[in-house]
Chains A and B, each alone.
Chain A
Amino acid sequence: MMLPDGPILVESIPGKIWSKSARDPAFHESPPVLSSHRSTIRGGRSISLPSSMAVATEAQFHVLAVDDSLPDRKLIERLLKTSSFQGTTRFSLLLAALLSQLLWGLASDGRFGSVCAVTAVDSGSKALEFLGLHDHEESPISDQLDVAVNLIITDYCMPGMTGYDLLKKIKESSYLRDIPVVIMSSDNIPSRINRCLEEGADEFLLKPVRLSDMSKLKPHILKSRCKEHYEQEQHLQSNSSCISRDSHKRKAADDEILPSTIRPRHC
């Protein structure tokens, strides 16, 4: 279905199918689950909807939070989910119109938090594992990121791999280096801050982190989301057959190579 004002987002729930324009105030269930059940209908090409249960909405942003402190992980998760960027996505939609529907999938109501999925891990090595990069490997098996991550926010002081070490590994990886990285630290040490920024960190936040800090993350996430949609578009257009759930995310062989790795799917 193609309406004059743009493509339609179609969701399915058992026994019910409805459609909404991407510009309507969208459903804001929280927390959104990373779902591969969303189907899109655009440009006359239709894709069959899965008949199985789908979630009410899909995460528009995905943030990976890394901190060895459990209270801090809880806090950053809630901060990310609560933050709202009123008016931001309207601007983004304007930008999208100019950039040919790159950002059509963004929720139109302005509440970033309600469409932010957060994965929180307690160490740098777990973060790398989640991102598909293992300690003993120089580069991942797949050249595609299995889960789209729009931002990585990490504590600096962690046992084993520090946030700085993690930042370095990410920037050394050809397929991870474009993900914006934010470092948090309770210590206000200018040389540390400079070192991180020089290594490629996009932002440095002083702990304790508060709601007002979340607005600093906004431009990085949006830029990353824009790029992700663009790349997805490129990939979709290069495929001639109907899109299957995971085809643009990972080669089938990878499932055999790493059967024990549990990774959330995101479409």
Chain B
Amino acid sequence: MAAAPLREQLSALLSSMFSQGLVDEQFEQLQMLQDEGGTPGFVAEVVTLFCDDAERIIAEIATLLEQPIVSFDKVDAFVHQLKGSSASVGAQKVKFTCMQFRQFCQEKSRDGCLMALAVVRNEFYDLRNKFQTMLQLEQQIQAYDPKQQ
């Protein structure tokens, strides 16, 4: 079956994402919801929404940190939002970096926040790349074997 090597690739990718702590059991919940609910595309949808949301939030934070006077409360509110949505989709590493980021907000340290933002951004991009690969593999597998998910 032509889909077999693709399935192996997908399986290996997901395995590594879990073992590296990129995603946690909440992501498993999403997978389970997709299977239990018979709603193919649910994971893709939530993951995509999360990525769009995260991108928007990161941009907002960047803008706030560029201001001559930084409103740390606003930055903190955005980081809190990102922490929340990453927790909801199981984006563990991004969630942890957000938690660290909030420390710098409390300390009202612009440099600290800029550094934390860079870390969050990197972790998010890494995760997003893997999510994109995951979705591509799923689509390719679907093309070979439309009946199976």
Chain A residues at the B interface, C-beta cutoff of 8 Å? 68-72, 74-75, 78-79, 81-82, 113, 157, 159, 186, 207-211
CB-contacts of B41-58 with A (<8 A): 42, 45-46, 49-50, 53
Instruction: Apart from A71-B50, A74-B49, A207-B84, list 8 A-B contacts with CB within 8 A.
Output: A75-B30, A75-B88, A78-B39, A78-B46, A81-B37, A157-B80, A208-B26, A210-B29
A266 to B88, CA, bound (A): 31
Can you list the 7 inter-chain pairs with the closest CB atoms, starting with the nearest?
Answer: A82-B37, A71-B49, A71-B50, A208-B88, A186-B84, A208-B87, A208-B26
Give 14 CB contacts A-B under 8 Å. Answer: A69-B88, A70-B53, A71-B49, A72-B85, A74-B42, A78-B37, A79-B33, A82-B33, A159-B77, A208-B87, A208-B90, A210-B26, A211-B29, A211-B32
- Across-interface contacts of A208 in B (CB, < 8 A): 26, 29, 87-88, 90
- Across-interface contacts of A81 in B (CB, < 8 A): 37
Q: What mask results when residues 58 to 95 of chain B are scored 1 for a CB within 8 Å of chain A, else 0?
A: 00000000000000000001001101110111100000
A68 to B80, CA, bound (A): 12
A68 to B88, CA, bound (A): 13
User: A118 → chain B, closest Cβ, in Å?
Assistant: 12
A78 to B53, CA, bound (A): 19
Closest to A209 in B: B88
- Across-interface contacts of B8 in A (CB, < 8 A): none
Contact (Cβ within 8 A) A72 B88 = yes
Residue in contact with B84 in the complex, picked from A74, A78, A79, A157, CB distance below 8 Å? A157
